[in-house]
């Protein structure tokens, strides 16, 4: 697993169920992380900064070769959509669990991806298929497209290097900001422009494709509730689509995946508005929100990633796919709603996760875990499933009420308010949902009585936390990374 956190734990579970030896890697602060303790073997690959650990292609491949690993699973984030990493893995004769490096390269460049989709007859948002190099050129193009426009980075994703421009006077500043952000995040400042839709929904379709030519979809997810283009709440199925639209968008996603020769699990993302949908991008990896699809279809997506990479053919057809009930996922991140969702760091002093029928927790932390500035603020994912959307909302509200995380700020209180918000309950959503409901972000300060309760809880847990800290300091490392490379006899446990 060339990754960490909850997705590494998720991959380990699927591997273990297949009787496959699971090998983890870890940076210095992650040496006692849940994914390390869950794996059959674990190896230290560097200090805290991801550029010196989880993003070191040569270090990851060295671990794989020294341990005799057959395959590398990239998870999501980090190197998962970096074609150079997939190519390096392929060149070493190791299986990359995902599509080919060529497909990743094509879909990783959003300008190139737009061209491919247009050639394949897939509807795309009006815009350009060539990079724009200066604010002056961008302004001229924007007048042709019509305001508002979206300035977007050609590389990467996650909302970085992306700015909505409502008026001509805003374009130069937006262009320069997006370019700086893209250079910093992806090392590539290439930008392009497309029309910004007024009230679009973010709809994505889950794809599975084997190496024998079978391609099918597993329905769609709605991911419209976002903050700075980062998803907060996802659900399946989408509430806005008619039966005909659902069939059409699913078929279009299959058409797109087939056109580029896709294999494995992937997601074709669309923007939907007023009965029309447009290709946005393709994620050539497993998605953070994949559990909602698993819960409504009963299909283990990570398991199928492994099976497809092993050469297995899909053993079911499109007609066999059935959507049952409704699922909702809340991404629980270490971000403070009272401070505009600024990242929060610290040690998790207490963690209680909800249980019960239809409740799932995908987490990569435990009590004593340290949330640092070096990695994504995702703490875990709370997912529920019920027979109807209304029942799923009620179940999620109950589960959020039961979730307790002390030691770091988190966004669960914001998501709990969303569950009660009338427009959300009615399914009246768009990617501007939080902009249109600023009251959801105006969280009141904690009252003194709540502060006293937290202080008491912290005092009761202090002795327990000190004992855990002493244990962490005295527990030997599972492995070591020597200055001349990995030891010839990797330690096992």
Just list the catalytic residues: 285
Contact indicator for 269, 282 with CB cutoff of 8 Å? yes
Q: What would the two tokens of residue 355 be? A: 């249980």
Interhelix angle 243-259/110-119, rounded to 10 degrees, is: 110
Tokens 């497909």, residue located: 103
Interatomic CA distance for residues 81 and 72, integer angstroms: 13
- Burial pattern 243-263, b for ≥16 Cβ within 10 A else e, equals eebbeebbebbbebbeebebb
SS3 content of the chain, % helix, strand, coil (to 5): 40, 25, 35
DSSP string spanning 84-119? HHHHHHHHTTPEESSS-HHHHHHHHSHHHHHHHHHH
Provide the Cα torsion 54, 186, 290, 376; round to 10°. Answer: 50
Tokens 């007609």, residue located: 319
Interatomic CA distance for residues 26 and 49, integer angstroms: 11
- Closest-CA residue to 379 (of 37, 6, 53): 6
Task: Give the SS3 label for residue 478.
Answer: coil
Within 10 Å of residue 276's Cβ, how many Cβ atoms? Answer: 13
Main-chain phi, psi angles of 275, to 5 degrees = 85, -5
Interatomic CA distance for residues 152 and 248, integer angstroms: 27
> Measured in Å, how far apart are the chain's first and last C-alpha atoms?
17
Tokens 């990797």, residue located: 490
């Amino acid at each position: 697993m060339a990754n960490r956190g909850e997705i590494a734990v998720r991959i380990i579970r699927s591997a273990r169920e297949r009787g496959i030896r699971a090998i983890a890697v870890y940076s210095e602060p992650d040496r006692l992380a849940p994914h390390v303790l869950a794996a059959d073997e674990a190896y230290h690959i560097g200090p805290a900064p991801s550029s010196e650990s989880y993003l070191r292609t040569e270090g990851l491949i060295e671990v794989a070769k020294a341990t005799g690993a057959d395959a590398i699973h990239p998870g999501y984030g980090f190197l998962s959509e970096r074609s150079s990493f997939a190519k390096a893995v392929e060149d070493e004769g190791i299986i990359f669990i995902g599509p080919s490096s060529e497909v990743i390269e094509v879909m990783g460049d959003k300008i190139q991806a737009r061209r491919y989709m247009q050639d394949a007859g897939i509807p795309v948002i009006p815009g350009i298929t060539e990079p724009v190099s200066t604010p002056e050129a961008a302004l001229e193009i924007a007048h042709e497209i019509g305001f508002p426009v979206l300035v977007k980075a050609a590389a990467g994703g996650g909302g970085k290097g992306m700015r909505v421009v409502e008026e001509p006077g805003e374009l130069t500043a937006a262009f320069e900001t997006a370019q700086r952000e893209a250079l910093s995040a992806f090392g590539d400042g290439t930008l392009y422009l497309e029309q910004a839709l007024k009230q679009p929904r973010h709809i994505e379709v889950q794809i599975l494709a084997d190496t024998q030519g079978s391609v099918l979809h597993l329905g769609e997810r709605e991911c419209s509730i976002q903050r700075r283009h980062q998803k907060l709440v996802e659900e399946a199925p989408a509430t806005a689509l008619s039966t005909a639209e659902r069939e059409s968008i699913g078929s279009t996603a299959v058409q797109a995946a087939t056109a580029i020769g896709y294999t494995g699990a992937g997601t074709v993302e669309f923007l939907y508005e007023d009965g029309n949908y447009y290709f946005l991008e393709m994620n050539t990896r497993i998605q953070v929100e994949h559990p909602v699809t698993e819960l409504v279809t009963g299909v283990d997506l990570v398991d199928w990633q492994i099976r497809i990479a092993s050469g297995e053919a899909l053993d079911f057809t499109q007609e066999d796919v059935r959507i049952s009930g409704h699922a909702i996922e809340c991404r629980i991140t270490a971000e403070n709603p009272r401070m505009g969702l600024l990242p929060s760091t610290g040690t998790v002093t207490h963690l209680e996760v909800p249980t019960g029928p239809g409740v799932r927790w995908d987490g990569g932390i435990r009590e004593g875990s340290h949330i640092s500035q070096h990695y994504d603020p995702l703490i875990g994912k709370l997912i529920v499933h019920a027979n109807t959307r209304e029942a799923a909302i009620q179940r999620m509200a109950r589960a959020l009420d039961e979730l307790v995380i002390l030691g770091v700020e988190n966004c669960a209180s914001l998501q709990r308010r969303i569950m009660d918000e009338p427009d959300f309950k009615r399914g009246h959503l768009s990617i501007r949902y939080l902009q249109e409901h600023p009251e959801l972000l105006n969280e009141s300060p904690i009252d003194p009585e709540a502060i006293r309760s937290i202080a008491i809880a912290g005092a009761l847990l202090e002795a327990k936390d000190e004992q855990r800290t002493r244990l962490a300091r005295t527990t030997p490392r599972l492995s070591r990374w020597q200055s001349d490379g990995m030891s010839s006899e990797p330690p096992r446990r």
